[in-house]
A and B are shown apart, each in its own frame.
Chain A
Amino acid sequence: MKVLLIEDEPELRRSIRMYLQQEGFMIESASDFPAAMEKADRYTYDAVLVDITLPKGSGLEVVRKLRVQHPATGIIIISAKDSLDDKILGLDLGADDYLPKPFHLPELVARLRALIRRKQFAGRQAIEWDELRIMPEEKLVEVHGEPLDLTAMQFDLLLFLVANKDRVLSRSAIVEHVWGDLADRLDHDDFLYSHMKNLRKKLTEKGCRDRIQTVYGLGYRFSTKA
Chain B
Amino acid sequence: MKLLQRTSLYQLALAVPLVVVGTAFAFVLVSTVVREEMDEQLEHQADRVSIDVRNGQRVFSTTAPDVQVAVLPGAIGAPYFQDTVMFNAAENEDLPWRVGYFPVTLNDGSKQTVMVARSLVETKELVAVLALSMTALLALITLGNVVLNRWLSRRLWRPFHRSMEEVQRFHPGSMKPIHLPDTAVDEFTAMNRALGDLMAKLRADFTAQKRFTEHAAHELQTPLAIMQGKLDQLIQSPNLGEQEASVIDGLFQARERMGRTLANMLLLARIGNQQFPPASVDWLAIFTEQRRALEDLIAQRAIHCTIRQDQPCSLRLHPLLADVLVANLLRNAVQHNIPAGTVTVVIGADGFTITNTGPDLSVAPAGLFERFAKGDPASPSTGLGLSMVKEIADQNDLHVAYEQAAGIHTLVVRGR
Q: Is the CB of A170 within 8 A of B252?
A: yes
Are A85 and B240 neighbours in the complex by a CB distance under 8 Å? no
By a CB distance below 8 angstroms, the chain B residues around A216 are 242, 245
- Closest residue of chain B to A183, judged by CB? B293
User: Is B232 positioned at the interface, with any CB of A under 8 Å from its CB?
Assistant: yes
Does A130 count as interface, using CB distance less than 8 angstroms?
no
Shortest distance between the CB of B113 and any CB in chain A (Å):
117
Instruction: Give the size range of A's interface with the partner.
Output: 35 or more
A76 to B300 CA separation, bound complex (whole angstroms): 37
With A and B bound together, what is the CA distance between A216 and B249 in angstroms? 10
Inter-chain contacts of B275 with A (CB < 8 A) = 83-85
Q: Is B228 at the interface (CB under 8 A from chain A)?
A: yes
Kindly state whether residue B138 has any CB partner on chain A within 8 Å. Answer: no
State which residues 129-182 of A face B: CB under 8 Å. 167-168, 170-173, 176, 179-182
Interface magnitude class on chain B = 35 or more
Known A-B contacts A172-B256, A181-B263; A188 and B229 likewise in contact (beta carbons under 8 Å) = no
A33 CB to nearest B CB, Å: 17
Residue pair B253, A186 in contact (C-beta under 8 Å): yes
Q: How far is the CB of B232 from chain A (nearest CB, A)?
A: 4
Residue in B253, B256, B297 with the greatest tally of chain A CB atoms within 10 Å: B256
B111 at the interface (CB under 8 A from A): no
Known: A180-B293, A216-B242. A172 touches B218 (CB 8 A): no
Are A191 and B300 in contact, CB atoms less than 8 angstroms apart?
yes
Give a binary string over A183-219; 1 marks a CB under 8 Å from any B CB, 0 the rest. 0111110110000000000000000000000011111
Interface core residue of B222, B224, B255, B260 (most chain A CB under 10 Å): B222
For residue A25, CB closer than 8 A to chain B, the reply is no
Q: How far is the CA of A226 from the CA of B218 in the complex (A)?
A: 44
Interface centre among B224, B232, B275, B335 (most CB of A within 10 A): B232
Q: Tell whether B74 is near chain A: CB-to-CB under 8 Å.
A: no
Contact B221 A182 (CB under 8 A): no
| B236 close to chain A: CB less than 8 A | yes
Mask: chain B, 307-351; 1 = CB below 8 Å from A; 0 = not: 000000000000010000001000000010000000000000000
Residues of B within 8 A of A184 (CB): 256, 260, 380-381
Which residues of A have CB within 8 Å of B178?
A: none
Are A12 and B235 in touch, CB under 8 angstroms?
Answer: no
Q: Indicate if A9 sits at the interface (CB-CB under 8 A).
A: yes
Judged by a CB distance under 8 angstroms, whether B246 is at the interface is: yes
Chain B 210-233 residues near chain A, CB threshold 8 A: 218, 221-222, 224-233
- 14 other contacts beyond A85-B275, A168-B235, with CB at 8 A cut-off? A12-B229, A15-B232, A16-B229, A80-B218, A82-B221, A84-B320, A102-B221, A102-B255, A103-B225, A105-B233, A170-B232, A182-B263, A215-B235, A218-B240
Listed from nearest, the 7 A-B pairs whose CB atoms lie closest are: A15-B229, A217-B245, A102-B225, A105-B232, A191-B296, A101-B225, A80-B221
